[in-house]
Structure 1
């Protein structure tokens, strides 16, 4: 048994954090959109950041304890702005006429979010240096295996702060019905902004003592739900069910290896140049991320050793906000995402270059217009449905989730720049690839790849793929 598997995360304390103030908007039901309702069977979002531990000083001999208290007070202030995270899901139904709806209730003083303080006898390098992401990282996140429908009884937000011997991991467990990845990182950045200001004020304030503290944030969320014009008069959506057992389905992960692969800005530029050179349509510009996605799709398909006639997709999670007409603010706090995909066979994908594959993805993204988004909402409203994870994942395909555009490493809680971003158990399956900003500056990308052991071994033996990946010791960039 190695050192990492011999260790366990120990819970030190747990408490409920309520908003510093109860705002008037939170006293009303928050109706859910088709984008929100579709998420019930997915897991909570589980992502977090690793920081170096603050050093003791004469002024503060117990800086970690001070920081934990500041985090709690900062979360209370942040929840005033992001009040939906303090509520619970509620189902309302009747038999005659049939009526079944689910909404978000933030009234009754708000139930609140959960805050967990935990510790583990490990160092940061025990997490960062192994080839695979150590399984113990999953213990840095609460509610393992919970699906979003569990938000009827579980908190919609849990913040777990895990002390390492030389580091602090801040993990947020965030109900996906409340918001998507864009919303998640808006919350995380605002949480960090409040904590940073609190630390600068040298305040270890008692609960409620914010008379002289600036509780504002630079980018307040828009919490009012978006309902497209045709449905503004009937936002409370009647679902075609009489009991949650008719649509709730839990997905059990198969055994997977999870590994981080880093692509420098130089490597990304080479992939983009190669994709554009190989692209058969010369009047378009293949983007860096389209090039990377095509390269990863092709590499994983080659590692899987499929028959040449096996159908395969590369699916991309896509943000609708700026694709709507008129555009929706990036500060919209809710779900507004779709997926688009390129489809071919294993043989065609491997026979052609990454420019050919990237063109499939480019076209799928280009065709995702305001008209197409509205049409998909119309179709859903005519026949509401809740997707089941097992029905939509495909072991022949690759799903590119998260985004290197998310502002992760500017989440400064007053501890300096994060050393790394990691995720928990949630929403992982064969072929799931999550994208993060890279650690070596603008243009670099970190990929979290989940594959069965045999496929991962084949990918690691793929010279073309590994030649594009930077050395594994990049974490020293932020640990020097």
Structure 2
């Protein structure tokens, strides 16, 4: 796929010159998240998209900044001034959009967004015009600026601005009400990134196996009949599908003994705090749950057992857990908070990112079918990552990306839809 860069500029926002990072921001992944959005022709023009971006950044000002420190050397998001603003690049692709649909993560797709390593701008946008008039918008956003919920809110508001509508929903930035420690701060739970692991982890496969991004599709009918009808309890699509994949990946990895395996599950604290944090809160409000089991126990306990482990771990990550983290930050705020987002090989563990509740599909720019015809990550270099992507058709089906060593990915493809 040949991609020619045509122009590059920055789009400024408004807001304060420095926005300190919250404790939740500091334990978010220190990395850019890259997402591709595909639109069939005809679409809004590049000028209209740029104008809509400027109008949106006037409200979502942290997206137009960069990470740095203020005069007190506190980590913050810097906005305004020379060199700041969101990066906007226009490009031409010498092929048809249909050749790339459906979007399946591959190193080739990284040409459709700016490099994430060493990126200065918190938000980078690349408008890729295909020969047929179709458009792929490649976006990278730094995770310490926004979690998935915040990113999806931003994308939906941007779509409204491009269509000539008022920017909505407006972001909520003031989270001081929810970040106040208790009168006597106490930390009852293990803080994020410190979840205990077994002392003797099995080594990853020998050799220099490449990581493969495997794309799978689970129809709404398969999830409802083949999976949900197996269990006595009623589980959500997220719980039952993750339970199924956790077990199948464990099999594909050849784990079947006393080795422990756990899944890092991002839990949104907005609805878990009292009073609830508005859905429009922009920043990070996520901690992790860690369902964990021995491989033999996980495989022997069936689908219901795995789903129950996931549900219990997520439910434990409730208001008391979030309050405990706020107190932990109050007690240790002079120290650098640790996180567990740095591993490039998670084996024998996993990380799951669910986009099922996000508003990415609301990113409507008008023209053609109006909304996104496909969206997906471009390429994930880390091993052990799962991404759930909702289908636009809304039949309850889910597209899944799983990153594994090639030999494990090959086995998973063979057993991914087997039911036992």
* Same structural fold, with TM-score higher than 0.5 when normalized by the shorter chain: yes
User: Secondary structure in 2 aligned to 1:188?
Assistant: helix
Report what 2:160 is aligned to. Answer: 193
Backbone CA RMSD of aligned residues: 2.5
Distance 2:49 2:417 in 1: 40
Q: How does 1:47-58 map to 2 (within 5 A)?
A: 47-54=35-42
Q: Does 2:248 correspond to 1:299?
A: yes
- 1:77 lines up with 2:32 in the alignment: no
In 2: Cα distance, 1:231 partner to 1:79 partner: 34
Q: CA deviation at 1:406?
A: 0.9
Q: Give 1:162's aligned residue.
A: 128
Look up the match of 1:430. 383
Q: Provide, for residues 190-241 of structure 1, a one-character-per-residue CA deviation record: whole Å limited to 9, x for no partner.
A: 11111122xxxxxxxxxxxxxxxx6x32311112244512289xxxxxxxxx
8 A Cα contact 1:343 1:360, kept in partner? yes
Distance 1:231 1:80, change over 3 A: farther
CA distance in 2, matches of 1:433, 1:222: 29
Tell me the equivalent position of 2:189: none
1:230 and 1:270 map into 2 onto residues whose CA distance is 46
| Inter-CA distance 386–9: structure 2 relative to 1 (3 Å threshold) | farther
Structure 1 residues 126 and 142 mapped into 2: Cα distance closer, same or farther (>3 Å)? Answer: same
Q: Residue 460 in 1 paired to residue 413 in 2?
A: yes
1:96-111 maps to which residues of 2 (within 5 A)?
A: 100-108=73-81, 111=84
Structure 1 residue ranges without an equivalent (≥5): 1-6, 55-63, 94-98, 198-213, 233-252, 278-283, 469-480
**Given that residues 315 and 399 in structure 1 are in contact (C-alpha distance below 8 angstroms), is that contact kept between their aligned partners in structure 2?**
yes
Residue pair 1:272, 1:287 contacting (<8 A) in 2 also: no
Equivalents in 2 of 1:107, 1:163: separation in Å? 29
How many residue pairs match? The answer is: 388
* Equivalent position of 1:331 in the other structure: 280
Q: Which residue of 1 aligns with 2:375?
A: 421
Q: Distance in 1 between matches of 2:278 and 2:345?
A: 30
Matched, 1:31 2:20: yes
Q: Alpha carbons of 1:399 and 1:27: their partners in 2 closer, same or farther (altered >3 Å)?
A: closer
Aligned to 2:401: 448
The alpha-carbon distance between structure 1 residues 229 and 254, as it changes in their structure 2 partners (threshold 3 A), is: farther
| Superposition deviation, residue 160 in structure 1 | 0.8
Q: 1:138 aligns with which of 103, 110, 125?
A: 110
Query: Residue 302 and residue 332 in structure 1: after superposition, are their counterparts in 2 closer, same or farther (change >3 A)?
Result: same
- Worse-superposed segment, 178-187 or 10-19: 10-19
Q: Which has the higher helix share?
A: 1
Contact 1:29 1:105 in 2 (8 A): yes
Which segment drifts farther, 68-77 or 103-112? 103-112
What is the rounded CA distance, in whole Å, between the counterparts of 1:31 and 1:231 in structure 2? 21
Counterpart-to-counterpart distance in 2, 1:401 and 1:68 = 30
* Counterpart-to-counterpart distance in 2, 1:431 and 1:71: 35
Looking at structure 2, the residues matched to 255 and 123 of structure 1 have their Cα atoms a distance apart, in angstroms, of 29
Alignment of 1:352-391 (within 5 A): 352-383=301-332, 384-387=336-339, 389-391=341-343
Cα 1:136–1:467 change in 2 (3 A) is: same
Q: Residue 221 of structure 2 corresponds to which residue in structure 1?
A: 266
Residue aligning to 1:223? 173
2:7 aligns with 13
TM-superposed deviation, 1:272:
4.9
| Residue of structure 2 in register with 1:240 after alignment | none
SS of residue matched to 1:323: coil
